[in-house]
């Protein structure tokens, strides 16, 4: 049996900052990012649930623009 399959053009995501091929999405603002424009950060968040403090550890990609300014002591 023969079937005609229409091929749709392949679309790839493009980095919102530089135009390279994007493979990550910013956890905070949702921008598409390539490895060069992304920073992988680990951070801790504390929430109170039913009167108890719960700690959440995250390892997420984000835009380098969200990073704090570099300090002189670093």
* The pLDDT value given to residue 12: 73
Angstrom distance (rounded) from CA 72 to CA 42 = 22
Close Cβ partners of 30 (under 8 Å, ≥ 6 residues apart): none
Going residue by residue through the chain (74 aa), what tens digit of pLDDT does each one get? 445 556 656 567 888 888 888 889 998 899 999 988 999 888 899 999 899 999 999 999 999 888 888 765 54
Angle ∠(67,39,73) on CA atoms, nearest 5: 45
pTM for this prediction: 0.62
Question: Domain spans of the chain?
Answer: 24-65
């Amino acid at each position: 049996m023969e079937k005609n399959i229409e091929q749709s053009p392949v679309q790839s995501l493009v980095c919102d900052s530089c135009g390279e091929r994007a493979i990550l999405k910013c956890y905070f603002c949702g921008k598409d990012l390539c490895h060069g424009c992304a920073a992988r950060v680990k951070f801790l968040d504390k929430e109170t649930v039913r009167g108890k403090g719960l700690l959440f550890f995250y390892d997420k990609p984000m835009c380098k623009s969200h990073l704090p300014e570099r300090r002189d002591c670093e």
